[in-house]
Structure 1
Amino acid sequence: MIFQKSACIETLYTELPFLERFRTAKADGFDFVEFWSWTDKDLAAVRAAADAAGVGISGFNGDAELSLIDSAQKTAYKAFLRRSLDAAMEIGAMSVTVHSNGLGEGGRVLCPYDDLSDAVKLCTMFDTLKIAAEWAETCGVRINLEPLNVTTDHPGNFLRHTRTAAELTRLIGSPYLKVLYDVYHMQLNEGSLCDHIRAYADQFGHIHVADAPGRHEPGTGEIRYPAVFAALEQAGYRGLIGYELFPKTDTKTAVRAIMAD
């Protein structure tokens, strides 16, 4: 099976003005694009650029600097996530991505909440995600919960394992709440990629791809992506593959490697 591809235009095509990246990504063979934040974007211009290019928008981040595990931020978190779902509907995006901790510049974890137990963090997440899943069903916009690596890019992040994320989404049981399985993050945190795919692929709403170490295009690191893609296909995954990676040399070279997958 050839999966449809989504280009993260925050990391690819950075040599171009943002709105030009939609057309170029489509011309290079991507079916969708995705990006990180939405509050710094002109949403009408984003929708127009995507429509003109004939490319879909797979999603963007829905929680900004707010934390899903901090009960003191629960009201503010839900209010912002609601706005994010509205923004997704405005531009026709398929999903929004959420995380356990608030993230700052460069993905820095703003607070690890070492004073809170895992039980408190998980229960706080569950309560908010259960409500958010009902909103997502009404909006027709999926929410994807993403574990992040804590070894390299996001030290202090709470949600770090596929199993924890997938068990949360299974408990809530909504088709509009799934896991964003980032192969790069999970290689750094837990390994055993194909075993985790076989166990939890039914909960995957989106896949992110980058090689490790380095977070560059496939073929630059240790991950055997043909085996990963085969495991996804055999496990029944039928969603998108998002390429959230930093080109080792330049976008043109990275895109050649991506399209060769």
Structure 2
Amino acid sequence: MYTLAVCAEMVFRDRPVPERAERIHEAGFEVEIWGWTRHDLDALARTPAHFSSMTGYIRGTLTDEDGAAELLRTAEQSVRAAEQLSCPRLNLHGTGLDDKGLPVVPVAGEADGPNWIAAHRTLTRIAELGESAGVVFTLENLNTAVDHPGVPFARAADTLALVAAVDRPGLRMNLDLYHAQIGEGNLIELVRRAHGLGLIGEIQIADVPGRCEPGTGEISYPAIARVLADLGYDGTVAMEAWASGDDDLALERFRSAFTL
């Protein structure tokens, strides 16, 4: 069966992040964080939490030469930070995001052919870095309608295509079903396709609308849980969602939705 994790950035927000990690661990979940430069890694490492994912870069882009060099440089720094937390996965996006989730270098419309070729080249180098370091980088799909306008390669179909084209064990897809529901829908078939290709490094979830825990919106996460079980998915399912009310109740609703 899959493992359940919770993003510490989005729950227990009245507490310091190390305390959030401990609470999540005590509830029986693994822990995810975003940008590691904002956190006290020594304090996090002293907690009993098992960290399953963190942001895998500080700055950079996939498509221009200088941005790609910066992405690789800060990805190397992120690998060293991940070692401190024994964190096996490092997450990437189509371009660097600011503190509001907006692209540092936005694009208008769809990425063209040269940008796809450049992204493939950059991600191949990222995959090689992951393989040499014994970690997996994951490329996350995002939505551009609500949260991340102007991000290139944002759709799940595009993210999956890039990961498939690179075809290296050091790069997998972070299949975010919240973003996919807003951008594309048809979640069960998307899960089946990505799993069938062997390209899922992790699955993230939140309900739509609102980006809160399962049961607060339109997505039938128990149905998705049954599909994952039928497929034999044994990776991580992470709740990257705001608590709609009580944080402990949000975690229990997540657990209930994915308990068969």
The answer to whether the aligner puts 1:128 opposite 2:127 as a matched pair is no
The answer to whether the aligner puts 1:26 opposite 2:25 as a matched pair is yes
Q: 1:220 to 1:43 in 2, by over 3 A?
A: same
Q: Which amino acid aligns with 2:135?
A: V
Which residue in the other structure is 1:5 paired with?
4
**Aligned partners of 1:40, 1:195: CA distance in 2, in Å?**
37
The answer to whether the aligner puts 1:257 opposite 2:240 as a matched pair is no
Q: 1:83 to 1:249 in 2, by over 3 A?
A: same
Which residue in the other structure is 1:92 paired with?
86
What value does the CA root-mean-square deviation take over the aligned residues? 1.6
**Aligned partners of 2:110, 2:216: CA distance in 1, in Å?**
39
Secondary structure of 1:7's partner?
Answer: strand
Counterpart contact for 2:207–2:215, Cα < 8 Å: yes
The answer to whether the aligner puts 1:225 opposite 2:225 as a matched pair is no
CA deviations on 1:95-149 (whole Å, 9 max, x unpaired) are 1000111100121122223399521221121111111111111111110001100
Q: Which amino acid aligns with 2:25?
A: K
Which residue in the other structure is 2:142 paired with?
148
Structure 1 stretches of at least 4 aligned residues deviating more than 6 Å after TM superposition: none
Give unpaired runs (5+ residues) of structure 2: none
Which residue in the other structure is 1:111 paired with?
105
Counterpart contact for 1:69–1:122, Cα < 8 Å: yes
TM-score normalised by L of structure 1:
0.92
Greater displacement, 101-110 / 210-219: 101-110
Which of the residues 198, 211, 223 maps onto 2:207?
211
Q: Which amino acid aligns with 1:210?
A: A
User: 1:236 Cα deviation (Å)?
Assistant: 3.3
CA deviations on 1:128-172 (whole Å, 9 max, x unpaired) are 111111111111111000110011000111122222222222222
Q: Which amino acid aligns with 1:143?
A: F
Secondary structure of 1:151's partner?
Answer: coil
State the percentage of identical aligned residues: 31
**Aligned partners of 1:71, 1:189: CA distance in 2, in Å?**
29
Secondary structure of 1:155's partner?
Answer: coil
User: 1:69 Cα deviation (Å)?
Assistant: 2.6
Q: Which amino acid aligns with 2:19?
A: E
Counterpart contact for 1:94–1:142, Cα < 8 Å: yes
User: 1:79 Cα deviation (Å)?
Assistant: 0.5
Which residue in the other structure is 2:38 paired with?
40
**Aligned partners of 1:222, 1:242: CA distance in 2, in Å?**
18
Secondary structure of 2:144's partner?
Answer: coil
Q: 1:117 to 1:204 in 2, by over 3 A?
A: closer
User: 1:82 Cα deviation (Å)?
Assistant: 1.1
Greater displacement, 231-240 / 19-28: 231-240
User: 1:76 Cα deviation (Å)?
Assistant: 1.3
Counterpart contact for 1:89–1:139, Cα < 8 Å: no
Q: Which amino acid aligns with 2:21?
A: F
**Aligned partners of 2:223, 2:112: CA distance in 1, in Å?**
34
TM-score normalised by L of structure 2:
0.93
Q: Which amino acid aligns with 2:249?
A: T
> Map of 1:128-207 to 2, 5 A cutoff?
128-201=122-195, 202-207=198-203
Counterpart contact for 1:89–1:141, Cα < 8 Å: no
Q: 1:165 to 1:76 in 2, by over 3 A?
A: same
Q: Which amino acid aligns with 1:39?
A: T
Secondary structure of 1:132's partner?
Answer: helix
**Aligned partners of 1:152, 1:212: CA distance in 2, in Å?**
11
User: 1:175 Cα deviation (Å)?
Assistant: 1.8
Greater displacement, 160-169 / 94-103: 160-169
**Aligned partners of 2:62, 2:253: CA distance in 1, in Å?**
36
